[in-house]
Amino acid sequence: MTTATTDTAPGADPTISQEQQVTSGATVWLTGLPSAGKTTIAYELAGRLREEGHRVEVLDGDEVREFISAGLGFSREDRHTNVQRIGFLAELLARNGVKALVPVIAPYADSREAVRGRHRENGTTYLEVHVATPVEVCSVRDVKGLYAKQAAGELTGLTGVDDPYEAPESPDLRIESHTQTVQESAAALHALLTEKGLA
């Protein structure tokens, strides 16, 4: 006698049956300055989406640099290459029914547009979210100590300080995280997904 088993997809909540599993994929790219709150918002949203039965992965920029983009520096060319690698991975996940949340600076507009273009070519949903926290607030938060190092002359090429950041002109959503809680920011993003029929 064979006992039937139910496989649970990676990133899925094992307490949710396959019938309840939501499989409409999309890439949600959260761009913004260092310490803007991108990753915190992404993980807050990921938890909420998983509770609702969505398959979700957060592509953390630091982890991607360690495992996929090791050896790349922070020149414009290397930043572009890093963003394209992340964009490829996100589109692959999204095309296969996963919500790929990408809290990655991606400072250059042409790099972000190239990622959007890849999604468009494959008919995959792509949403761009600008976490528009001012540099003055980010430098106070300074989660990784980057602003302090830059001020002390120990670091150069910090995005938004001595390296360019090209803010999106027409993002799908702009979040001013310094004026609201993490939960409120995630709720605004969840509302966008709901509006697009993705949540």
**pLDDT tens-digit map of 36-73:** 999 999 999 999 999 999 999 999 988 998 999 999 99
pLDDT (mean) for 111-131: 97
148-188 per-position pLDDT tens digit: 999 999 988 999 999 999 999 999 999 999 999 999 999 99
| Token reading at 186 | 């995630």
How far, in Å, are 34, 91, 111 from residue 166 at the CA level? 13, 22, 10
Write down the pTM of the prediction.
0.87
